[in-house]
Amino acid sequence: MSIIEVTFPSYTLKRSVTFKALIPNENGYTPGKAGEFSKEKRKTLYLLHGYTGDCNDYIMNSNIGFLAGINNLAVIFPSGENSFYLEDMDKGEDFSRFIGEELVAYTRSLFHLSEDREDTYIGGFSMGGYGAMINGLRFSETFSKIISLSGAYIALNIADAGVYLPDGVSDEKYQRRIFGEAEQLRNGNKDPRFCLENLKAAGKLIPDIYLVCGAEDFLIESNRKLHSFLVEQEIAHIYKEGEGVHNWVYWNKHLELSVQWLLGKETTLQSETT
């Protein structure tokens, strides 16, 4: 397994940025023997961290290295700052295009990665769960599967209320900068429901969705709201709750299950709670 740190100039963020990558060896590592390099392009998971995190979160707190190694899966970890992986016109940064276009193109050119939609996935927890969902839908021609672990879908609550909802973590000023005008949010592509409606109306492919949140998590109601919408729209997906709060104990459990699902080793899509 190779752990790689890359710094490169980003045109979407207008500055140098750093990401990390896990690139598994073909047949592991044997001391004293030359390594074998894959002749086939690897499947790839772009994995997004949560609020206040960075590209080190999964490497430090999860078993993703083991999962990547045994499944020959490349994993890319960008740093999204506190952007919700969206565009910020005031700062001139576009984290959405960075995730959905630039990072994919750059990593495919740098590493031996598959360019097929069916081999390209996006996932994340908390803020990264929202970022994975919204950008997986915005760039549905690139990503075939989405993993959302305890997604921070505060945008759904703001959109439905038509007003900002300071929550002790984010205040009105921050929510306005990230999501735009509250009364316009439901009819824009920062609400995953709007993205899903547009894809469905246009007859375009919708990525497969793995949506989970612990029953005791403070974000559970917004996750249930998104699940209910998916059921109403008859959009097939996996939805799971189970005992759990907003922490790595829950995320590690479902990170392993979701990677199995990515590779066809776990539950098939369904539209009801499991």
Is 239 in contact with 178 (CB distance < 8 Å)?
A: no
pLDDT score recorded for residue 89: 83
pLDDT score recorded for residue 37: 57
pLDDT score recorded for residue 273: 46
Residue-wise pLDDT tens for the chain (274 aa)?
899 999 999 999 999 999 999 999 865 555 555 555 566 799 999 999 999 999 999 999 999 999 999 999 999 999 999 999 999 988 889 999 999 999 999 999 999 999 999 999 999 999 999 999 999 999 999 999 999 999 999 999 999 999 999 998 899 999 999 999 999 999 999 999 999 999 999 999 999 999 999 999 999 999 999 999 999 999 999 999 999 999 999 999 999 999 999 999 866 555 444 4
CA 185 to chain centre: 20
165 occurs within a structural domain: yes
270 occurs within a structural domain: no
187 occurs within a structural domain: yes
Q: How many Å apart are CA 96 and CA 136, to the nearest integer?
A: 10
Question: Could you give the number of structural domains in the chain?
Answer: 1
N- to C-terminal Cα separation, the chain: 34
274 occurs within a structural domain: no
Strand 120-125 with 145-149, pairing:
parallel
267 occurs within a structural domain: no
The domain that holds 20 is classified in CATH as 3.40.50.1820
Query: Which residue has tokens 């005992």?
Result: 243
Q: How many Å apart are CA 4 and CA 21, to the nearest integer?
A: 5
76 occurs within a structural domain: yes
148 occurs within a structural domain: yes
Torsion over CA: 159, 163, 167, 173 (sign)? positive
Domain of residue 62: give its range. Answer: 2-262
144 occurs within a structural domain: yes
- Look at residue 34 and give its three-state secondary structure: coil
pLDDT score recorded for residue 25: 80
pLDDT score recorded for residue 91: 86
